């Protein structure tokens, strides 16, 4: 092992699209929650249908916030429902001001941000995949049939039910599955479910909205996919932080990665 040796790991396009993706992802989540706040409920239906409500965040009375999931109501005062109004006070508002852009309730500006960064994310995603495929950077990232039998052993290793992980390359089979799902399933679906909410898009390409089960259902899909992507984001940050935080961040800025204890590990 050549500890200390510096290798060139990430090309300029990969680094640029990675960071633009980070910025647009954070902007899309926080403005998406802003937009959600204007109608803080999700129905598994085409038109708004309270009988098919999956999630509702509300303030049933002054000073009380509740979250209802599949008919089960939890008191979430301070976190959801009755929260920070972004102006130093508290109010009946689904997601709190500290997590939305702008911090105060502003649907018009939330939408401006969201529809702008959606385009940035699409451009970055397409550039990342096209460039990655051309340079073969995606080869080690994509799940292959031969990885499938290794998925369970890898999970058992994570659960500490197995001493050694199965043999793998830069990315382990579970990471490959996560990246493949994110790049080729979740990302395209979150874009399509967002477009399915557009009345003009629905008129132009009606089968997309139908595929998601209607407009309100598409809104539910859009929200669930956001949660899934946030889960991926949290795992990714966790792996970065536990396998040489400074080294990873430096390599994603300069492209240069210093080999060491976590050599073969990709994040």
Partner 1 sequence: MRRKLFIASSMSAALAGCGAIGTKLNDNQTFHSVLSSAEDLNLRVIGTHGLAREYSPADLSADFPINSFDTPSDALYTRLVRSAFRPYQMVVDGMVDHPQYLSLAQLAAMPQTAQITRHDCVEGWSAIAQWSGVALRDLLALAGPRPGAQFVVFHTFDRDSSGVPYYESLNMAQAMHPQALLALRQNGVAIPPDRGAPVRLKVPTQLGYKSAKWVRHIEIVASMAHIFSGQGGYWEDQGYEWYAGI
CA 261 to chain centre: 29
In the list 15, 77, 91, 104, the residue contacting partner 1 (rule: CB under 8 A) is 104
Per rule CB under 8 A, is residue 103 in the interface with partner 1?
yes
Cα gap 18→66, rounded to integer Å? 37
Q: Which stretch binds partner 1 (CB under 8 A): 12-20, 112-120, 143-151, 258-266?
A: 112-120
What is the DSSP-derived secondary structure letter of residue 82? E
- Bridge partners, residue 64, by sequence: 61
Per rule CB under 8 A, is residue 85 in the interface with partner 1?
no
* CA dihedral of 63, 72, 56, 95, whole degrees rounded to 10: 50
- Shortest spacing between CB 30 and partner 1, in angstroms: 6
Per rule CB under 8 A, is residue 52 in the interface with partner 1?
no
In the list 2, 3, 146, 200, the residue contacting partner 1 (rule: CB under 8 A) is 200
Cα gap 29→221, rounded to integer Å? 14
Number of H helices, E strands in the chain: 9, 8
Cα gap 68→71, rounded to integer Å? 6
Per rule CB under 8 A, is residue 195 in the interface with partner 1?
yes
CA 135 to chain centre: 25
Cα gap 218→44, rounded to integer Å? 8
In the list 61, 74, 78, 119, the residue contacting partner 1 (rule: CB under 8 A) is 119
Per rule CB under 8 A, is residue 38 in the interface with partner 1?
yes
Per rule CB under 8 A, is residue 113 in the interface with partner 1?
yes
- Shortest spacing between CB 42 and partner 1, in angstroms: 9
Under DSSP, is residue 61 helix (H, G, I), strand (E, B) or coil? strand
- Shortest spacing between CB 202 and partner 1, in angstroms: 7
- Which residues contribute to the site for partner 1 (CB under 8 A)? 26-27, 30-31, 35-36, 38-39, 46-48, 86, 97-104, 106-109, 111-113, 115-116, 118-119, 195, 197-206, 209, 215-216, 219, 234, 237-238, 241-242
């Amino acid at each position: 092992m050549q500890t200390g040796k510096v290798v060139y790991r990430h090309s300029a396009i990969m680094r640029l699209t990675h960071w633009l993706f980070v910025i647009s992802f954070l902007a899309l989540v926080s403005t998406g929650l802003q937009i959600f706040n204007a109608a803080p409920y999700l129905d598994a239906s085409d038109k708004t249908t309270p009988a098919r409500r999956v999630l509702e965040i509300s303030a049933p009375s002054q000073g009380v916030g509740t979250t209802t999931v599949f008919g089960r109501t939890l008191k979430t005062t301070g976190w959801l429902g009755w929260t920070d109004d972004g102006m130093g006070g508290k109010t009946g508002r689904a997601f709190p001001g500290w997590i939305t852009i702008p911090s105060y309730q502003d649907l018009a500006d939330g939408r401006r941000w969201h529809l702008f960064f959606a385009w940035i994310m699409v451009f970055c995603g397409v550039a990342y995949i096209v460039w990655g495929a051309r340079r073969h950077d995606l080869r080690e990232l994509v799940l292959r049939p031969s990885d499938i039998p290794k998925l369970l052993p890898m999970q058992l290793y994570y659960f500490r039910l197995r001493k050694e992980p199965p043999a793998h390359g830069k990315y382990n089979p579970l990471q490959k599955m996560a990246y493949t799902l994110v790049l080729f399933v979740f990302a395209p679906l979150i874009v399509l479910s967002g477009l399915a909410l557009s009345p003009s898009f629905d008129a132009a390409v009606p089968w997309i909205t139908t595929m998601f089960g209607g407009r309100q259902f598409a809104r539910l899909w859009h929200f669930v996919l956001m949660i899934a992507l946030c889960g991926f984001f949290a795992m990714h940050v966790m792996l970065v932080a536990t396998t040489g935080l400074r080294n990873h961040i430096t390599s994603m800025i300069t492209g240069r990665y210093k080999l060491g204890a976590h050599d073969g590990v990709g994040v």
